Amino acid sequence: HVQLQASGGGLVQAGGSLTLSCAASGASLAYAGVGWFRQAPGKERDGISCISRSDGSTYYADSVLGRFTTSRDNAKNTLYLQMNSLKPEDTAVYYCATVYYCAKYNRGLITGGMDYWGKGTQVTVSS
């Protein structure tokens, strides 16, 4: 049973940076599919990045491509989300999750099989 704990959120000015962490326990994330999601007030939870279980490829939603970077430290069993050039529209609660399937198509980032979720961490970007 995997437990995930996201942290690192906070208040930042537009143009600033934050790094989120997602520490895992109960199982290794080394070969797991994992992803970051966010939910803004009044909106659905959307996937923004993921690492594929099948080949380790990393995919990003167009809204964060070029600004956010997902990585993981297998020794620490931790997933990271480096967020640069933050915009007010990035304001949301951010979640990490295990992901059975992820890929990028013309219609966007597709994820499926999120069995385990961490509690969210709030990111607020002021203008």
Residues 3-39 have pLDDT tens digits of 999 999 999 999 999 999 999 999 999 989 999 999 9
Q: Could you tell me if residue 90 is left (phi over 0), alpha (psi between -120 and 50 degrees) or otherwise beta? A: alpha
Strand 10-13 with 121-126, pairing: parallel
- 89 φ, ψ (degrees, to nearest 5): -70, -5
pLDDT the model gives residue 14: 98
pLDDT interval class at 107 (50, 70, 90): confident
DSSP E strands in 45-120: the ranges are 46-51, 58-60, 68-73, 78-83, 92-98, 101-105, 108-112
Note the Cα 36 to chain centre separation in Å. 2
| Beta carbons within 10 angstroms of residue 14's beta carbon | 13
pLDDT the model gives residue 6: 95
pLDDT the model gives residue 16: 98
Condensed to tens digits (0 to 9), the pLDDT of residues 71-100 reads: 999 999 999 999 999 999 999 999 999 999
pLDDT the model gives residue 15: 98
Condensed to tens digits (0 to 9), the pLDDT of residues 55-75 reads: 999 999 999 999 999 999 999
